[in-house]
A and B are shown apart, each in its own frame.
Chain A
Amino acid sequence: MTSGAVTAGRRPPPAGRAHRLPALWLLLLAAALVVLAALSVAIGTRDVGLGDILAALGGRIETIAEAAVAMRIPRTLLALLAGGALGLAGAIMQGVTRNPLADPGILGVNMGASLAVVVGVAWFEIASAYAYIFTAILGAGAAAAFVYVIGSLGRGGATPLKLALAGAATSIAFSSLVIAVVLPRADIAGGIRAWQVGGVGGATFERIHPVLPFLAAGFVVALLSARKLNALALGDELAAGLGEHVAATRAIAAFAAILLCGATTAVCGPIAFVGLVVPHLCRLLAGSDHRWLLPFSALGGAGLLLAADIVGRIIARPAELDVGIVTAFIGAPFFIWIVRRQRVRDL
């Protein structure tokens, strides 16, 4: 009840300030990212001094401390990229499906990418980074299309419950199949099990490099589709009336989201809930205009994943908690909060 009163009290800002306020928040968010990135380089299992950090940033890896810092730099970069991609993908999926529970993890898209990669490794002996990424994107796309078709059958279209259930069912089926593929292959089981938890540890510049073109393409297409997503938010009929090609818009935006989460999953394994949490939080700051919401979600996702990675390094010292587990712990309560906030009729 109180939450309803609060949202009712938050009036949209007057037109003149509308553009200045989100811009300010965006700057603040970017500043927070810089701070987080600095923390991520400085904090870890091994304590390092400022001198070591500066030396490692300059490219020196002579002492152990400098080497540790040098390993944290690509890791930080990967967390930023993956988080940004997942946050943005989540915002697009929520826009395309007009569904508050849409998330690459919940909808089974990440699991689709996983299954495709596992099948590729086990049966087709893919090894090159590009083959990994292509397979993952293919799997993500197939899973997304499948879940969306199942979830939107029948009356009421893609309701949150139907989509979430279709996603959960698909995830369980895919994870059974992943096990079925991996089980007879002791040679690849260990690596795949570690990859499946979802993490950015052990990142190197060589591993990040191949996904950059895919992520860049995803980011560009996603940000360009912002205006069209605004039209979709009005409802299909109204959007069509405004001259939008509804189906084409959906397909293009969804393609961007699939590029983003497929490429991310190929490098980091399936990471859930970032795409769910971030757009909701960003909506509080940026409102529902996708031209603001999408960049906010990208920065917010980067920040959340990086923060989760730092937390994972701190709380389990001297071991590390994989970032996928930390995000699940932040994300699942948030998911429940969203479910509780909705009226039953809207679910």
Chain B
Amino acid sequence: MLAALTDSVAESRRRRAGRRGLVVGLLLALLAATFLLTLLLGQSFTPPQDILRTLLGEDVPGVAFTVGQLRLPRALLAILAGLSFGLGGVAFQIMLRNPLASPDIIGISWGASAAAVIAIVVFGLKGPAVSVLAVVAGLGVALLVYALSFRNGVAGTRLILVGIGVSAMLESVIAYILSTAPAWTLQEALRWLTGSVNGAQLGAMLPLLAALAVFGGLLLGHGRDLEALRLGDDTAAALGVRVGRTRVLVIAAAVGMIASATAICGPIAFVAFLSGPIAARIVGNNGSLPVPAALVGAALVLVGDYCGQFLLPSRYPVGVVTGALGAPYLIFLIVRVNRSGGSL
């Protein structure tokens, strides 16, 4: 009897793991296909063999510039930023057990963005210094929102509402700083208000890559503890998870990733918020979300940027596309939660 039960549990576990592996594989394949498409097809078509030769370091006339300097950095930045937003976002959503508690809704992305704008426009800083400031500011805003919503413990509702208030203030800071900057910086302005991967350069991506490796590794390394937090703090503690320590670690890692990505491409609207729920929809009740969510995030930014560049009547930064896509989804989420009788 017991043996049959453990067998069936083991069997269903294997099945779930199998399905999750399949989903991750499919997502990876989709990502690779989109990546290739963005390299091949821009304003003009570039034959695959030319791309291959460029990637191997040969100097193919014309292609070396369009692919090596324009398309490849852009696609890579889109993927890195998407991975960071997706992973950071889903970590917050799991930890706070609320899909709405994503860093872009509770103000963390806006904090990083405001810091980056001030660093660039007011102090004239560049490169890693901007990233560091953005990470510090993101952590600061996370702490502030957490502290402000603390009253006999943190309630998710209060945290989200406090975050909306803080975001509104930060947005007006950004709008003000930008309004003092000269008019020809409009493109730059849009980056900090909606997010964009325009002007990507391979060298500038190094801080982001480093942040993703360190913080992403940290997060995935604590994946089991994070999953346990989903069951509630008490249950997680009973399972042997050190709740306080895990929470601090998860916040630090997620904010670090989100803020480093924001420092380079601005707060790409809603990617952090959308990736988790979409991944959950695809994976189903089959366990761990972080890796699928990160892949979904990368796909969202890559596809969104491609649409913004080539499929719409005029060129838009990726944040405009994801912003216009994400808001209806947020509304759908509100409507669905209401239907199912849950309370927001």
A interface residues with partner B (beta carbon < 8 Å):
101, 105-106, 150-151, 153-156, 159-162, 164-166, 168-170, 172-173, 175-177, 179-180, 183-184, 186, 189-190, 193-194, 196-197, 272-273, 319, 321-322, 324-325, 328-329, 331-333, 335-336, 339-340, 344, 347
Contact = CB atoms under 8 A, between A and B. Distances in A.
A273 B270 CA distance: 24
A162 B164 CA distance: 12
Identify whether the interface residues of A are mostly helix, strand, loop, or mixed.
helix
Looking at B183, B335, B337, B344, which has the most chain A CB atoms within 10 Å of its CB? B344
20 contacts: A161-B160, A165-B164, A175-B194, A176-B320, A179-B190, A179-B193, A180-B320, A183-B190, A189-B186, A272-B172, A319-B180, A328-B172, A331-B168, A332-B168, A335-B165, A339-B149, A340-B148, A344-B155, A347-B157, A347-B158
Given A328-B169, A336-B162, A155 B341 contact: yes
A100 to B, nearest CB: 11
Interface size grouping (class) on chain B = 35 or more
B172 A165 contact: no
Shortest 10 CB-CB contacts between residues of A and residues of B: A154-B338, A173-B327, A176-B323, A332-B169, A328-B172, A169-B330, A184-B314, A335-B165, A344-B155, A339-B161
Interface of B: 100, 105, 148-149, 151, 155, 157-158, 160-162, 164-169, 171-173, 175-176, 178-180, 183, 186, 189-190, 193-194, 269-270, 313-316, 319-320, 323-324, 326-328, 330-331, 334-335, 337-339, 341, 343-344
A168 B81 CA distance: 24
Given A160-B161, A172-B323, A340-B151, 6 more contacts: A153-B334, A155-B338, A165-B100, A179-B193, A179-B194, A328-B168
B318 to A, nearest CB: 11
B154 to A, nearest CB: 10
A341 to B, nearest CB: 9
Contact of B319 (A160, A161, A176, A329): A176
Contacts of B186: 186, 189-190, 193
B104 to A, nearest CB: 9
Contacts of A190: 183, 186
Given A176-B320, A347-B161, A324 B172 contact: yes
B6 to A, nearest CB: 41
Given A101-B161, A344-B155, A183 B323 contact: no
B344 A159 contact: yes
Given A169-B334, A272-B168, A340 B162 contact: yes
Given A179-B320, A183-B190, A328-B168, A153 B158 contact: no
Contact of B168 (A184, A189, A194, A335): A335
A261 B292 CA distance: 44
A13 B189 CA distance: 53
Contacts of A322: 176, 179
A303 to B, nearest CB: 21
A339 B165 contact: yes
Nearest to B312: A180
Contact of A150 (B189, B323, B331): B331
A159 B316 CA distance: 35
Contact of B172 (A172, A183, A325): A325
Contacts of B176: 197, 321-322, 325
Given A197-B175, A319-B180, A325-B176, A161 B169 contact: no
Contact of A172 (B179, B183, B270): B270
Contacts of A177: 324
A193 B174 CA distance: 12
Contact of B149 (A319, A335, A340): A340
Given A165-B344, A321-B176, A153 B327 contact: no
A344 B157 CA distance: 7
Contacts of A335: 161, 164-165, 168
A194 B166 CA distance: 22
Contacts of B178: 193
Nearest to A153: B338
Given A169-B331, A189-B186, A332-B165, A183 B175 contact: no
Contacts of A168: 105, 164, 167
Contacts of A161: 157, 160-161, 344
